């Protein structure tokens, strides 16, 4: 099963991305989170003010050439994507309506009426074609490069507002792949050098318009009167160049910037700070306990289930992640519209674990010996390994706990030199899980898990055409994996957007866009 998509790619991570006819509507904004900060009732929204945000020093300000995620976050204020994603991680119509063919091999796009670029020139289907061609020739590390790898280079333009794109193969996540920014042909044509003058002075169609960039210092943006979206209260944005995450937090502490994203280890100190608003959001970072199916013990389902019942995951969420994680029963984000909650679940029960081990033939005269692997760089997973070690030992299992630096840890994983391990993946918002649980004649997965029924369900989920078919295929797949138990799902981690208390309004950051509803924020000066 060939995979085309960078956004469907995944990596082992260390740290502690439809119906056939989509309505032409305003992009759906995500629902408020529990930690939402709202202005007091006596504080009414006002227009004006400047929001200061961080970004790395850009090598280009063309969103299709850009390789840096912090720069991409800021460029989202200047450029609208063809399609958007809401808080349920579901693709939505944005710059037009989208009619996906029933065979999953094409989409017809009708652009909204009246779309114009920030320089006043109308947007047309020629801009879509130019953007597609630009991505085809973009650097390999460009953020949106792989979004077009399943799109045929032959396009069918009906008129200035209607175009048909064909796909090389059916893929249920193609709507996600259309979530890339569109750039104007009339402005960027011929600008193949990412650092050219035009590529450093962007013209877009977003909420804000580029004013100037002071090399190594900051970039100034102002409200774009030509945006089709609701006018933002905040009049201008200053993107301040900072070299790294540590510098971002320092700049936030010194009130040199108003917004910063932070991981678990960083935002705890702000919990009781009245000067700081905290808005959490669930990321794609997924933690789990994995099994090696090449070993005799782990090939026995009863043993895997015994391990699953030996962990109190609710307690782990509270005591180790300090509540900054969402428990999950599958490898699909619980916030996703594709998440299936009705799967087999394994609650903490050491007595059941003991009985399962006995049913698998392990007892005092035939002790189970396991090698548990974890990498030392990740403090949360080290703590989980310690809990699992303690509970399995209590059950009479002999556990050899191997805490290794990542390079050696990864080597043992690759060589399948373990029984079970604490691991993590950074999962795309378009959930193709073939890399983790599928296999073919040329490659295996990290668990050495081979199941023909699961392979068939993975293929069905990959090729599903239409919203209902995709949801049904993903539901069937999650139920199968919960029964087969190639791994024990633990959590999806959370991040947080920290903001200065003077920034009011309902803030609804998402893992792919912390500025998702910036037009509803306002500044009290």
DSSP designation for 309: H
How many H helices and E strands in the chain?
14, 20
What tokens appear for 524 in the block?
Answer: 């009290």
Cβ burial of 388 (10 Å; 0-12, 13-18, 19+) is: buried
Closest to 455 (Cα-Cα) out of 488, 475, 428, 477: 477
Q: What pLDDT is stored for residue 42 in this prediction?
A: 61
What is the full DSSP assignment across 457-492?
Answer: HHHHHHH--SHHHHHHHHHHHHHHHHHH-SEEEEEE
Give the pTM. Answer: 0.89
Q: Which mean pLDDT values do the consecutive 10-residue runs of the chain (525 residues) have?
A: 39 38 35 44 84 97 97 98 94 96 97 96 98 96 96 96 97 96 98 95 98 94 95 97 94 95 80 89 96 97 98 96 94 96 97 98 94 96 98 97 97 97 94 93 90 97 94 98 98 95 94 93 92
Residues 404, 448: Cα–Cα separation, whole Å: 21
**CB count, 10 Å around CB of 137?**
11
For the domain made up of 284-494, give the CATH fold.
Dipeptide-binding Protein; domain 3 (3.10.105)
In the chain, domain spans = 29-258+502-523, 284-494
The highest-level CATH class for domain 29-258+502-523 is alpha beta
Residues 184, 129: Cα–Cα separation, whole Å: 10
Residues 521, 186: Cα–Cα separation, whole Å: 33
Give the sign of the dihedral formed by CA 95, CA 96, CA 97, CA 100. negative
């Amino acid at each position: 099963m060939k995979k085309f998509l960078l956004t469907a790619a995944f990596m082992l991570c260390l740290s502690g991305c439809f119906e056939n006819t989509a309505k032409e509507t305003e992009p759906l904004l995500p629902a408020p989170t529990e930690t939402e900060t709202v202005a007091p009732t006596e504080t009414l929204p006002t227009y004006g003010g400047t929001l200061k945000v961080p970004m790395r020093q850009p090598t280009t300000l063309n969103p299709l050439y850009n390789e840096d995620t912090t720069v991409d976050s800021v460029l989202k204020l200047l450029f609208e994507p063809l399609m958007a994603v809401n808080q349920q991680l579901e693709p939505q119509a944005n710059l037009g309506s989208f009619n996906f063919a029933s065979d999953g091999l094409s989409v017809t796009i009708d652009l909204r009426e009246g779309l114009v670029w920030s320089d006043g020139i109308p947007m047309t289907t020629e801009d879509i074609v130019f953007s597609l061609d630009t991505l085809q020739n973009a650097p390999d590390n460009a953020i949106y490069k792989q979004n077009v790898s399943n799109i045929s280079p032959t396009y069918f333009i009906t008129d200035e507002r209607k175009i048909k794109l064909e796909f090389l193969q059916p893929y249920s996540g193609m709507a996600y792949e259309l979530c890339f920014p569109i750039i104007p042909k009339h402005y960027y044509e011929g600008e193949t050098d990412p650092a050219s003058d035009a590529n450093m002075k962007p013209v877009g169609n977003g909420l804000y318009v580029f004013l100037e960039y002071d090399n190594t210092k900051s970039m100034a943006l102002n409200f774009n009167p030509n945006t089709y979206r609701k006018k933002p209260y905040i009049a201008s944005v200053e993107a301040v160049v900072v070299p790294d995450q540590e510098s971002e937090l320092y700049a936030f502490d010194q009130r040199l910037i108003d917004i910063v994203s932070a991981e678990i280890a960083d935002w705890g100190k702000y919990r009781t700070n009245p000067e700081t608003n905290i808005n959490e959001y669930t990321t794609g970072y997924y933690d789990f306990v994995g099994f090696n199916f090449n070993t005799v013990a782990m090939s026995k389902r009863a043993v895997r289930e015994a391990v699953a019942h030996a962990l109190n995951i609710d307690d782990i969420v509270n005591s180790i992640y300090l509540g900054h994680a969402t428990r999950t029963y599958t490898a699909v984000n619980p916030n996703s519209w594709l998440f299936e909650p009705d799967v087999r679940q394994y609650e903490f029960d050491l007595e059941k674990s003991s009985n399962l081990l006995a049913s698998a033939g392990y007892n005092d005269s035939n002790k189970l010996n396991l090698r548990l692997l974890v990498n030392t760089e990740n403090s949360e997973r080290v703590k989980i390994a310690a809990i699992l070690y303690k509970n399995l030992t209590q059950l009479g299992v002999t556990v050899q706990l191997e805490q290794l630096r990542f390079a050696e840890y990864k080597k043992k994983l690759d060589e399948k030199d373990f029984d079970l391990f604490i691991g993590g993946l950074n999962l795309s918002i378009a959930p193709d899980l073939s890399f983790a649980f599928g296999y073919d004649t040329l490659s295996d997965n990290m668990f050495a898990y081979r199941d023909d029924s699961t392979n068939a369900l993975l293929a069905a989920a990959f090729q599903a055409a239409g919203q209902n078919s995709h949801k049904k295929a993903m539901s069937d797949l999650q139920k199968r994996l919960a029964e087969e138990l190639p791994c024990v799902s633990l959590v999806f981690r959370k991040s947080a957007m920290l903001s200065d208390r003077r920034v009011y309004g309902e803030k609804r950051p998402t893992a792919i866009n912390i500025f998702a509803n910036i037009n509803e924020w306002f500044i009290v000066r």
